[in-house]
């Protein structure tokens, strides 16, 4: 009985130590709790002065800025290594206005821990749109998908903030270091206005 008690104490102590360190090794990226995770955010995230944001239950909020999971986390092999990566879209907005931006994070596992492979902020997607449509204007990200090893991003483009004229489909592929646009974004008219 005494041996069983000591064994239970050792297991509890090891669990508490692992929890206190905040690092639990996992075998699959799907096991990482991204709703309670610390992300490196862009400095222009609504004037956010910090370089990292720790989400709790999918959200970070202070007096001026709110950061949260934009949609569900996607899991797909985007690097061609036959192992899923996590595609985590975060939205950052001000609590006092209508400014918001989305940043997409791509995580993989290294030694049982999440490792950031790349970030794809809206500013990169804006640049890619302007390269092909210099007079156009891109609005918010409407949808994020992963298909056939590509990261697909849909954005409202052209028209006005209240009524986007088109949906633009951006296809990004992994080149070993970052996401690169696979070709000219394809636009299709929207009929919602």
Better pLDDT: 30 or 12: 30
Question: What does the alpha-carbon distance between residue 185 and residue 152 come to, in Å, rounded to a whole number?
Answer: 10
As beta bridge partners, residue 101 has: 92
Average pLDDT, the chain: 82
Which DSSP string corresponds to the chain? -HHHHHHHHHHHHHHHHHHHHT----SSGGGS-GGG-EEE--TTSTT---SEEE-BTTEEE-SSEEEEE-SPPEEE--SSSSS-EEEEEEEEEESSSS-EEEEEEEEEEETTEEEEEEEEEHHHHHHHHHHH-TT--EEEEEEEEEETTEEEEEEEEEE-SSSEEEEEEEEEEE-SSSEEE-SPPEEEE----
For residue 48, the model assigns a pLDDT of: 61
pTM score, two decimals? 0.80
Percentage above 90 pLDDT, the chain: 50
110's tokens: 């290294």
Q: Are 58 and 69 in contact (CB under 8 A)?
A: yes
The pLDDT assigned to 99 comes to 67
* Unique residue bearing structure tokens 């394809």: 186
Q: Which pLDDT belongs to residue 11?
A: 36
**Comparing C-alpha atoms, which of 191, 186, 192, 188 is closest to residue 169?**
186
pLDDT score of 14: 38
pLDDT at res. 8: 35
Structure tokens at 180: 């690169």
Distances (CA, A) of 58 to 39, 118, 181: 11, 20, 29
pLDDT in tens, 15-68: 333 333 355 799 999 999 999 999 987 656 656 666 788 899 999 888 777 888
What per-residue confidence (pLDDT) applies to 185?
97
């Amino acid at each position: 009985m005494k041996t069983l008690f000591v064994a239970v104490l050792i297991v509890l102590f090891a669990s508490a130590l692992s929890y206190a360190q905040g690092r639990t090794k996992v075998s699959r990226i799907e096991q990482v709790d991204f709703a309670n995770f610390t992300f490196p955010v862009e400095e222009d995230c609504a004037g956010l002065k910090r370089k990292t944001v720790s989400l709790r239950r999918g959200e970070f909020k202070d007096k001026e800025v709110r950061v949260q999971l934009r949609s569900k986390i996607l899991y797909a092999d985007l690097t061609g290594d036959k192992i899923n990566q996590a595609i985590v879209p975060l939205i950052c907005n001000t609590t006092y206005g209508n400014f918001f931006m989305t940043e997409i994070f791509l995580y993989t596992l290294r030694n049982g821990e999440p490792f950031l492979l790349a970030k794809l902020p809206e500013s990169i997607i804006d640049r890619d749109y302007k390269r092909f449509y210099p007079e156009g204007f891109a609005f918010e990200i409407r949808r994020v998908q992963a298909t056939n090893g590509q990261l697909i991003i849909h954005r409202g483009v052209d028209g006005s903030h209240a009524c986007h004229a088109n949906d633009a489909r951006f296809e990004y592929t992994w080149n070993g270091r970052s996401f690169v646009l696979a070709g000219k974004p394809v636009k299709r008219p929207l009929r919602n206005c």
